[in-house]
C-alpha cells in the first residue's frame, strides 16, 4: 500500500515505518521534527518535513505520492504535561490535525489509522478495560485524543473516511535499530534504564498511596514490535469499516515491579525515591485486547515484561545518547 505516516520520526512512528517497509509498503514519513528525529526515519522511506496543520502541503503530498491510507501518529504524549498546559494538547492533538482530515477529503484519501491511547478511559470500573468501557479521561491528554476520535466518527459519517483508532496501553521496548528517545524523557522504562546506565542519579516513584497491592500505579506494557504488528493488520482490515481496538497484553505491572524487572535484566542497582503522585494519573490501566485478537488474529509475541525491558536495555546500551540529534 501507499501510506503516509505523520509522526513517523517518533518512537512508535519510526518503528511502524520500519515494519510497513518490511511488509512491502511504500511509505512517506511526514513529520515537523518538533519532537521526532530525522535519524530515526528509515532510509527507504520518503521524508517530508511538514506540519499536520498545513492542508495545502498535505493534499499536494497525497496527490504526488498516490497515498491510499494515512497513519496519524503525530501528537504530544505527556499526560503529566497536559495537566499543566492543556491548551498545547487540545491545539496540537485535536485542532491542528483537522487540516489533515480536510486534506484527505480534498485528495480523496479514504482510510486512516489513528494513534489513540488508554488514557481515553480514565479510572477503570472493570478489572480489564475493553473498548466499550466508559470514556472519562482523567487528564487533558486523554481528552485531546478522545475528541479526535470523535472527529473521526464525523469524517466517516459525512465523508466516508474509514478509521481505526488504536488505543495504546504502555508501548515499550525496541527493535534492533530503533528505540525510545524522547527529549525530555518522561516515560518510566527509559528513565529507569538511564538510571541503571548511570546517566541519571535516581528514579522517582510517582505515588505510593494508590489502591493497588504495593501502592504504586499499574500499567500494561506492550512490546513495540507487537504494537507495530497490530498496525499492519488493522491497515489491511479497514475496508470492513471503522473500528476501535485496544492494544495491550492484558497483564499489569506496578511501578515497583517494573523497577525490579530492570534490576533483574540489567543486574544493576540504583537509587529509587518515593515521591508524590503525578497529576492526572489513573491508578490502574490494563487492557482487554480480545477484540483485535478475535477479529484480526493479533497475538502479542513478546508479552513478558523482562523481554520488553531487555530489548529496551540493549538499545539504550548501544545508543546511550539516543539518536544524538
Ligand atoms: N512513573 C513514575 N516515575 C517516573 C515516570 C513515570 O513513577 O519517573 C509512573 C507514572 O506515574 C505511571 C507509570 O510510571 O504510573 C507509567 O508512566 P509513563 O509516563 O511511562 O506512561 P503513562 O502511563 O503516563 O502513559
pLDDT in tens, 264-315: 999 999 999 999 999 999 999 999 999 999 999 999 999 999 999 999 999 9
Q: Is residue 76 a contact partner of residue 96, using CB atoms and an 8 Å limit?
A: no
pLDDT at residue number 10: 98
What integer best gives the mean pLDDT of the chain?
A: 97
Q: How far is CA 181 from the centre of its chain?
A: 13
Residue 117 pLDDT: 98
Instruction: State pLDDT tens for residues 188-235.
Output: 999 999 999 999 999 999 999 999 999 999 999 999 999 999 999 999
Q: End-to-end CA distance of the chain: give it in Å, rounded.
A: 31
Give percent of the chain above pLDDT 90.
98
CB atoms inside a 10 Å sphere around CB 244: 21
Question: Could you give the residue range(s) of every CATH 3.40.50.720 domain in the chain?
Answer: 2-172+221-247
Name which of 275, 217, 279 is nearest 85 in CA terms.
Answer: 279
SS (H, E, C) 174-222: CCCCCCCCCCCCCCHHHHHHHHHCCCCCCEEEECCCCCCCCCCCEECEE
Residue 66 grid cell = 498516490
Q: Point out the residues that are catalytic.
A: 141
Neighbours of 239 (CB within 10 A): 8
Whether domain 188-219+251-318 has CATH 3.40.50.1100: the reply is: no
Alpha carbon of 188 to ligand 1 centroid (Å) = 5
DSSP state of 277: P
pLDDT at residue 62, as a whole number: 98
User: pLDDT band at 324, cuts 50/70/90?
Assistant: confident
Strand ranges inside the chain, DSSP E: 2-6, 26-31, 46-49, 69-72, 111-117, 162-168, 170-172, 203-206, 218-219, 221-223, 243-247, 253-254, 272-275, 284-285
Whether domain 2-172+221-247 has CATH 2.60.40.1890: no
Q: How far is the CA of 52 from the centre of ligand 1 (A)?
A: 28
CATH 3.90.25.10 in the chain is located at 188-219+251-318
Is pLDDT of 325 > 80?
no
Cα(156)–Cα(261) distance, integer angstroms = 43
Mean pLDDT calculated for residue range 136-158: 98
> Which pLDDT value is given to residue 21?
98
Average pLDDT over residues 84-102: 98
Q: Which among 217, 246, 300 is positioned nearest to 129, based on CA atoms?
A: 246
Give Cα 9 distance to the centre of its chain.
13
Measured between alpha carbons, how far is 243 from 48 in angstroms, rounded to an integer?
Answer: 28
Mutate to test the pocket of ligand 1, among 194, 219, 285 (most ligand atoms within 8 A of CB): 219
Q: Which atom of ligand 1 is nearest to the CA of 118?
A: 25
Closest CA to 314 of 271, 262, 255, 258: 262
Question: Which of 32-36, 117-121, 208-212, 321-325 is predicted least confidently?
Answer: 321-325
φ and ψ at residue 112, rounded to 5 degrees: -145, 135
Residue nearest to atom 24 of ligand 1 (CA): 79
Q: Whose CA is nearest to atom 21 of ligand 1?
A: 187
204 lines ligand 1 (CB under 6 A): yes
Would you say the CB of residue 164 lies under 6 angstroms from ligand 1? no
- Ligand 1 centroid to Cα of residue 92, in Å, is 22
Alpha carbon distance 83, 243 (integer Å): 29
pLDDT at residue number 317: 94
Answer whether 218 contacts ligand 1 (Cβ < 6 A): no
Half-sphere exposure for 127 (CA within 13 Å, toward CB): 3
Amino acid at each position: 500500500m501507499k501510506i503516509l505516516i505523520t509522526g513517523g520520526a517518533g518512537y512508535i512512528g519510526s518503528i511502524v515505518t520500519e515494519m510497513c517497509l518490511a511488509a512491502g509498503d511504500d511509505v512517506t514519513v511526514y513529520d515537523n521534527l518538533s519532537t521526532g528525529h530525522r535519524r530515526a526515519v528509515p532510509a527507504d522511506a520518503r521524508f517530508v518535513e511538514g506540519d499536520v496543520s498545513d492542508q495545502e502541503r498535505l493534499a499536494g503530498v497525497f496527490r504526488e505520492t498516490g497515498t491510499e491510507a494515512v497513519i496519524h501518529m503525530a501528537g504530544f504524549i505527556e499526560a503529566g504535561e497536559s495537566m499543566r498546559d492543556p491548551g498545547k494538547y487540545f491545539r496540537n492533538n485535536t485542532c491542528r490535525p483537522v487540516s489533515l482530515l480536510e486534506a484527505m477529503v480534498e485528495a480523496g484519501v479514504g482510510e486512516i489509522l489513528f494513534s489513540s491511547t488508554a488514557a481515553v478511559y480514565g479510572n477503570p470500573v472493570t478489572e480489564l478495560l475493553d473498548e466499550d468501557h466508559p470514556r472519562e479521561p482523567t487528564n487533558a491528554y486523554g481528552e485531546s485524543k478522545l475528541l479526535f476520535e470523535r472527529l473521526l466518527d464525523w469524517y466517516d459519517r459525512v465523508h466516508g473516511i474509514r478509521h481505526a483508532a488504536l488505543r495504546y496501553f504502555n508501548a515499550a521496548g525496541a527493535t534492533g535499530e530503533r528505540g525510545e528517545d524522547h527529549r525530555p524523557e518522561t516515560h518510566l522504562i527509559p528513565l529507569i534504564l538511564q538510571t541503571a546506565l548511570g546517566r541519571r542519579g535516581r528514579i522517582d516513584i510517582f505515588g505510593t498511596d494508590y489502591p493497588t497491592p504495593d501502592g504504586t500505579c499499574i500499567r500494561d506494557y506492550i512490546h513495540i514490535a507487537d504494537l507495530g504488528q497490530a498496525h499492519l493488520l488493522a491497515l489491511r482490515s479497514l475496508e470492513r469499516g471503522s473500528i476501535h481496538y485496544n492494544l495491550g497484553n492484558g497483564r499489569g505491572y506496578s511501578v515497583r515491579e517494573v523497577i525490579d524487572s530492570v534490576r533483574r535484566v540489567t543486574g544493576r542497582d540504583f537509587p529509587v525515591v518515593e515521591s508524590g503522585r503525578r497529576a492526572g494519573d489513573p491508578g490502574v490501566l490494563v487492557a482487554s485486547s480480545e477484540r483485535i485478537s478475535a477479529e484480526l488474529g493479533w497475538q502479542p509475541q513478546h508479552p513478558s515484561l523482562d523481554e520488553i525491558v531487555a530489548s529496551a536495555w540493549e538499545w539504550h546500551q548501544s545508543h546511550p545518547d539516543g539518536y544524538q540529534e
